[in-house]
Amino acid sequence: MIIKNYKLFLEARLADLLNIKGDSELAKEMQKIKDAEFDISKKLVRFITLKKRVNNKKIQFEIEWNDSATHNLIKRIKERTSFNSVEDFNQYFKTEFNKIFPDMVGKELYASGKYSLYSTEYNFTIILDFSIDEYIDGIYEVKIITILPGKKGNDVIRFIDIF
């Protein structure tokens, strides 16, 4: 494989890298990752403690997932994202959550309601419901409604790109 434009390679998404073809070791390893069976043995993360403190206090969020027999979020993550396991998704979600909270509250997250968080790297959207009033009162809860492929969202207050 010859990389002619290094800057374009740096901007590649993980999903693009998984499509490398050929007989090289890199291509074989990428194919192995792509073909790996999705591990559904783990549960979705329920609590996240923010890395940043607010007024010198640790802030913890309770995450409520819209996960039921008729709306299986783990199955949707498997089908609509390129993660290999729930644990991989949880790690990604915690990292991105810490980028969003508390910095975007009052700026990008300025009203109560549904928001569409689009992952530019993985090409999927997380629809979440957030109450600004509850956040201010000290009850820290976020509800994850669904996971969608691509950049989507109906009846949302705002689209937010996460990197």
Q: What tens digit of pLDDT does each residue of 14-38 get?
A: 555 556 667 778 777 767 766 666 7
Tracing tokens 């989507």 back to the chain, one arrives at: 152
Helix (H, G, I), strand (E, B) or coil at 70: coil
Per-residue pLDDT of 103-146, as tens digits, reads 777 677 778 889 899 998 889 999 999 887 765 555 578 899 99
Contact 59, 140 (CB under 8 A): yes
Tracing tokens 């069976």 back to the chain, one arrives at: 37
Mean pLDDT, rounded, of the chain: 80
Residues 6+ apart with CB under 8 A from 16: none
Per-residue pLDDT of 31-73, as tens digits, reads 776 666 677 777 999 988 888 776 777 778 889 999 988 999 9
**For the chain, domain boundaries:** 6-35, 47-162
The first and second tokens of residue 64, run together, are 């409520």
